[in-house]
Amino acid sequence: MAAAASTNSFLVGNNTQIPSSKPKSTSQSLLHLTKPNTLNLAGKKTKPVSVRCVSSTPQVQDGAARSSTTGSQDRVFNFAAGPATLPENVLLKAQADLYNWRGSGMSVMEMSHRGKEFLSIIQKAESDLRQLLEIPSEYSVLFLQGGATTQFAALPLNLCKPNDTVDFVVTGSWGDKAVKEAKKYCKTSVVWSGKADKYTKVPPFDELEQSVDAKYLHICANETIHGVEFKEYPVVRNPDGFLVADMSSNFCSKPVDVSKFGVIYGGAQKNVGPSGVTIVIIRKDLIGDAQEITPVMLDYKIHDENSSLYNTPPCFGIYMCGLVFEDLLEQGGLREVERKNQMKADLLYNAIEESRGFFRCPVEKSVRSLMNVPFTLEKSELESEFIKEAAKEGMVQLKGHRSVGGMRASIYNAMPLAGVEKLVAFMKDFQAKHA
Amino acid sequence: MAAAASTNSFLVGNNTQIPSSKPKSTSQSLLHLTKPNTLNLAGKKTKPVSVRCVSSTPQVQDGAARSSTTGSQDRVFNFAAGPATLPENVLLKAQADLYNWRGSGMSVMEMSHRGKEFLSIIQKAESDLRQLLEIPSEYSVLFLQGGATTQFAALPLNLCKPNDTVDFVVTGSWGDKAVKEAKKYCKTSVVWSGKADKYTKVPPFDELEQSVDAKYLHICANETIHGVEFKEYPVVRNPDGFLVADMSSNFCSKPVDVSKFGVIYGGAQKNVGPSGVTIVIIRKDLIGDAQEITPVMLDYKIHDENSSLYNTPPCFGIYMCGLVFEDLLEQGGLREVERKNQMKADLLYNAIEESRGFFRCPVEKSVRSLMNVPFTLEKSELESEFIKEAAKEGMVQLKGHRSVGGMRASIYNAMPLAGVEKLVAFMKDFQAKHA
């Protein structure tokens, strides 16, 4: 495990402080050069130290919170649903190289997307992603913009004619949005919806009344808002049809048999990078027959022919995704990543179950998401206190989506086990105080 | 000038080296804490120093170029057409705050786009941009994705019905691409094209045979590839029509009277940020009548109603744009920025003129771009040597666009005067050697 072996190289002197000649500077930023303890470290605990760099950024943002302490204890545990927490070692690498990428004399943000430096970055990102997901050679990997919401239009525009039918299994809000957008470009058939059950289930696949001639069957593999995750995938009834999955919020969280899908797509901002990058993995024979009204930027053919460089791609975001892919490989690949995710999710769901109803998760046990854990309090009037008190202890963004209420803990790949442990301990304390 | 006053706070000890316990580390990155000399410093020269931080990033990129020296002399002068050079102080601020933004415990890349931290960032970015361009209140500012190329479709989809006509003045490749995309969604009329003259001119406006009923007149205010820039703007013949301008490559390079336009749009990656952010400034009364086939992500109404937060925006890119807007305001605003850009452009164009034909710029003098300077060598066989030798001296990305050949120096806002001075000195030396 290369990552574990390299831990010590981040350990430097003790609180090397670089003095400023402007003590009144309004922005005091910490360049953390400590590699903190995360799941992928091989047990050896290291003492966090930091280099404090004081830069002058006059009035960058007035009144923002500022911490007076140094060291990695400044990091919060960020349970946001996305954009979400990123691996600390990835952030530290990006920080170290931000001003001058590997001696190129440029930031990655300044590089021509057609220059050899950026080409090496995007090509390695694709190659590492292919290795992670074992993507067969008959699939293209596209790095696009606009989020999954743009793909809700791009998919029918590329894969259907106006009279074609697309089947949808709707297990949450995102699947529902995908239907609404597709209606503009094809016929849609919702073969199952979990709406009546407030999106807490995945249907038995043999009950699905799929259209005989459906061009494809669309699912959202993990519903970020409702915490419902497919553990297996339905087989498409039409022998010429194929499965399309929005994997925005569980992309690269576990191994996936890509060959079962025609298209896998997702925004990067949950598990693999910052917002602004959308990844599409598409079987090559499905490319090239877009409707005439398709905007050129939504046409997979253009991006495939140009290796995602038809126009200027979101270079820095792709670079960040590449760093995350490297990190996932260094951790041992997606089987190991899934094992860690399962451990974290078990810890949290067990805590909910063992609370004897004090905490509740509405989702059917067999399809509970490893990524997004929605839960409520029996005494719902305590929920805002729960969220507030957790924030005071450095666990932030626990508020449930406005459409659902309650709480939601998003525990993506980059959430350390320590974060879930701390949350579970807090939940037990909170229950003891309020039971 | 706050920026100048704060210079010294970046000046720290001398080459504070942080030792690594892994001397074989494959990635040695330099955290430059020096604020280098740039145009906006008030004359006081400072000695560059740097902190060298060695981080372990196993096999980040095999075989990439690496410099063994430290300090700001590592920076190249990057003449790329976009993504392009960014202000050094902006990069240093972003670097200092990358791991933990102002004590929030999070990177900007990890922040929920609906959290108070990011809301403060996007709101300040918009407010500063409004101040810079003096944008009237009856205009909306949208932060989108997909580049100007996505807008080539979004504009007619939002502003036209299929039978409406749009007029185009085509002064280069980008204007030409805009026509081709618009043809999918409306009728197009090219009222003037510079193609026969290899895109070296802007027409006299009184010669334009505009359509009586054109919904709008589209121009590309600065053609990045051909180096042709509008110095004034045509008046639209149809009293109900309006002017639409792609300002991707001269956005915020000079003051612009926004009230003369219905829509101003552009990718951020030339003058105001990294790639992945597209800014649209649109008169509010033009919003809300999109064609039914418009993908929701291309509908200005959705983005306007949701303050650019309908789905997850490119948060980090918007943050970077915000830092650039602050920097431009600190420099004294766009009048001062234009003065500097004019000075740089004059220096370079004068060098070309004074070379007695050794260097040539094909563009008509009155419409030469302040941003992109294409030039050729009389002895064209020397061009590749010119580009190679310049790169050896730290001036990179001078190759002309593949469709034009020769050289192109993009000298956006963030290109320091020193970069142009160095290029001009190199040109004189090169001529002396080869005349």
**Cβ contact, residue pair B97, A146, below 8 Å:** no
d(CA A335, CA A325): 14
Chain A, 257 to 286: residues with Cβ < 8 Å from chain B are 267, 269, 273-277
Q: How far is A435 from chain B (nearest CA, A)?
A: 31
What pLDDT is recorded for position B72?
Answer: 53
Query: Which DSSP state fits A368?
Result: B
Q: Please state the φ and ψ torsions of residue A217, each to the nearest 5 degrees.
A: -115, 125
β-bridge pairing A187-193 and A222-223: unpaired
Band of residue B276 on the pLDDT scale cut at 50, 70, 90 = very high
Q: What is the mean pLDDT of residues A9-24?
A: 31
pLDDT bucket at B30, cuts 50 / 70 / 90: very low
Compute the distance between CA of residue A273 and CA of residue A327 in angstroms, rounded to an integer.
11
pLDDT of residue B318: 98
Residue A245 pLDDT class (50, 70, 90 cuts): very high
B101 is catalytic: no
Residue A231: CB atoms within 10 A of its CB come to 12
pLDDT at B34: 34
The predicted-structure confidence for B320-362, as pLDDT tens digits, reads as follows 999 999 999 999 999 999 999 999 999 999 999 999 999 999 9
User: How far apart (Å, rounded) are the C-alpha atoms in residues B295 and B284?
Assistant: 20
> Among residues B435, B285, B294, B425, which one has the least CA distance to residue B358?
B435
Reported as a single tens digit per residue, the pLDDT across A30-57 is 333 333 333 333 333 333 333 333 333 3
Q: Tell if the CB–CB gap between A83 and B111 is shorter than 8 Å.
A: yes
Q: Strand runs (DSSP E) across B55-193, as ranges?
A: 77-78, 139-144, 165-170, 187-193
Q: For B371-381, how does the pLDDT look when each residue is reduced to its tens digit (9 = 90+)?
A: 999 999 999 99
Q: Choose between A52 and B370: higher pLDDT.
A: B370
A32 and B100 in contact (C-beta within 8 Å)?
Answer: yes
Contact B65 A95 (CB under 8 A): no
pLDDT for A350 beyond 50: yes
Largest CA distance in chain A: 74
- Is the pLDDT confidence value at B263 over 50? yes
CA distance B190 to chain A (A): 20
Give A117-152 pLDDT, tens digit per residue: 999 999 999 999 999 999 999 999 999 999 999 999
Residues 6 or more apart whose Cβ sits within 8 Å of residue B322: B121, B122, B124, B125, B128
Strand partners, B141: B281
Look up B270 and say whether it is catalytic.
yes
Tell me if A94 sits within 8 A of A102, measured CB to CB: no
- B67-123 residue pLDDT tens: 333 345 589 999 999 999 999 999 999 999 999 999 999 999 999 999 999 999 999
Q: What would the pLDDT profile of A384-415 be if each residue is shown by its tens digit?
A: 999 999 999 999 999 999 888 999 999 999 99
Whether residue A110 and residue B85 make contact (CB cut-off 8 A), yes or no, is yes
Q: Does B14 contact A at CB distance below 8 Å?
A: no
- Partners of B298 on chain A (C-beta within 8 Å) are 295
- Rounded to the nearest angstrom, the minimum Cα separation between B252 and chain A is 17
Torsion of CA A122, A128, A131, A137, to 10 degrees: 10
Return residues 284-303 of B near A (CB < 8 Å). Answer: 292-293, 295-298
**Helix residue spans in B164-299 (DSSP H):** 173-182
Q: Which residue pairs from A62-70 have beta carbons closer than 8 angstroms and sit at least 24 positions apart in sequence?
A: A64/B102, A64/B103, A64/B104, A64/B117, A64/B120, A65/B102, A65/B103, A65/B104, A66/A28, A66/B102, A66/B103, A67/B100, A67/B103, A67/B105, A70/A15, A70/A30
Residue B87's pLDDT is 98
| Residue that has been written with the tokens 């609180």 in this structure | A15
d(CA B212, CA A23): 64
Is-contact A71 A12, C-beta < 8 A?
Answer: no
Per the CB < 8 A criterion, the answer to whether A117 and A101 are in contact is yes
Question: Which residues of chain A make contact with B326, given a CB cutoff of 8 A?
Answer: 59-60
Q: Residue B153 corresponds to which tokens in the numbers above?
A: 């479709």
- Residue-wise pLDDT for B398-411, tens only, equals 999 988 899 999 99
pTM of the model: 0.86
Q: Which 198-217 residues of chain B touch chain A by CB within 8 A?
A: none
How large a percentage of chain A has pLDDT more than 90? 82
CB B375 within 8 A of CB B409: yes
Tell me the ipTM for this assembly.
0.86
Mean pLDDT of B267-284: 98
Q: What angle, 0 to 180 degrees and rounded to 10, lies between the N-to-C axes of helices A116-133 and A315-330?
A: 40
Helix (H, G, I), strand (E, B) or coil at A358: coil
